Structure 1
Amino acid sequence: MTLKMIQGEIRFGAFLLLLGVCVLVLLGWSCSSAAGKRTSPVKSDNKTVAQKNSHKASRNQPIESTAPKTSGPTIEIKENSPSDTVKVFYDRLRENRFKDALILTNLRPAVEGLSDREVSDLGVDFRKLAGMVPEKMPINGEIMTGNEATVTVRMPDPKTGKPEISELQLRKNGDHWVLLVADAEGEKRVRKEGKNYFFSLRMDVHHEEAKAMLNRISKAQAVYSLQNKGKYADLRTLVQKGYVPTDALSVESTGYKYDVALAYDQSTYTALATPAEYGKSGTLSFALKIRRGVEPELVSRDVKGNSLNG
């Protein structure tokens, strides 16, 4: 997983958790490697970021840790420095304080207005993510150039177990440092849309996934038709035969209701995708129409959550 995966308005792939991806990228796992060196840290007589923002940790049940064992920082972390900001970010993740952690990033305008219910609606298993954070983050480098900084973390690759150097980019805003997650264009959209940003992105993802699922159904129907004398099947049959994933029968993971409208003689069909919650899981309804001797036609329209069947 690389930082580029979330840059350019943070486009996420199939079934990835929106905020979860941001967190995992900032954990530094599988990011591009580059050795970092340390320069003179920022001097300050103020309290550290950690002291300013100390709160009691979550009183939830203990989180089972899946984090790699690390020896902690190998550089001195000065108060209010970029490394201090990174350390506090990780501390907040471990304490299950994810809004507070992401407020330290340039996603702040999209995060600070979210209620606990809205965070839950985004579908992120934050407790599981908290268990991925080592107790002592192995911060091993800091480079500052004016109002820009790079902090490096030496983490074992989750697949190979080999230590890798991962980079986190920061920018100084006033008297504090900000972790950079979104690129310039994404940041403009964050400021414009505020807390609606993540929900808007989620709908964008669901729209793309709806088209991908209809394409999957089309390929499954082609296989079924070859095996059944040109006849097509309903959606449940395609799932039972393993041609289409079971997600097609549930709205929880997809945000869409899928269906196959068969002709009376099963010689043609229309595959349908309709938002499960209009305005939250999606705004576009889709229909893939299959007619004999005619190229498949995929249409999409905003019909206020209604089906395009008919």
Structure 2
Amino acid sequence: MASSARIRHYMHDNGPLILDGGLATELEAQGVKLQGDPLWSARLLHTNPQAIGDAHYRFLLSGADVITTATYQASITGFINHLDVSFERARELLMSGVQVAKDTVERFVSDSPPTGQRCPLVAGSVGPYGAFLHNGSEYTGAYAEAMSIEELKVWHRPQIDCLVAGGADLIAFETIPSIKEAEALVELLREFPNSKAWLSFSCKDGKCISDGSPFTDAVQIATRSTQLVAVGVNCCSPEVVEPLLDSARSLLSPDMTWVVYPNSGEDWDTEQGWLTSAKAPAAVPELSRTWMRQGAALIGGCCRIGPAHIAELRRQLKGSCTSPASAV
């Protein structure tokens, strides 16, 4: 794990950290078929890790300071069930998500010019239990009603253990829809005392996370942890970010910042996929300055946000991107 000092240096001394965009979005843009797959992009850790590495590389070229592993929908149980592999092989696959990302960072740094060189971080993605269910419930959190905090901890523990063992710089608890699941993750993080993380929620509107709980309550859960470097939102419409952050602006501790990486603003349908509308969605790069003024120090994109969007985001917030001229 990267030290807290290294992460804080990135966030406070060099301006906001630019996160990557939607990994699955970029993989699908390159012709990979993911729709309907219960493992989503995590299947490629088994079948085509090179495609994941190349997608990571394109986000690095576009200016990302952090790339997120292809483990959002990965789990020991999921790999065993859907790939017919052993427990040990499932662990190896989860850890390989970190290794693929770290190898890509090493390649990027090696390819970069010596002046203005940056060394990006690797965030180990941990999705909600609803991602494993593969029924869209990461946007409702309904499953948490029937589960205890201990049951949620039991579910998440092996995934976090693999990502920490793999050497992720920090853990990204992503698209968390439920207060109860957030409590479980904050408690579980204490079992990995040398690890840092961020916690980001899926939200239904400008006031509430997906299970209907006020965003302010979600932020208060996060402030219980000294290991969380950031709390915020992801995979929501860009338009709801500003009111969400405003609603909880007085609750952040001095040692915590906002993390923000919304989707494109388009609607997701579990049967049809992403639905485009006649109304142009709000643009992440244009709104990013507002989020930065609100105190966000980690800013990027989620679903339907590709490398070109991240390049524009970096131009908006940092002016330019230092990277090799050619892409993969």
Q: What's the TM-score, normalizing by structure 2?
A: 0.25
The structure richer in strand per residue is: 1
Q: What's the TM-score, normalizing by structure 1?
A: 0.26
Higher relative contact order (CA 8 A, sep 6+): 2
Structure of larger gyration radius: 1
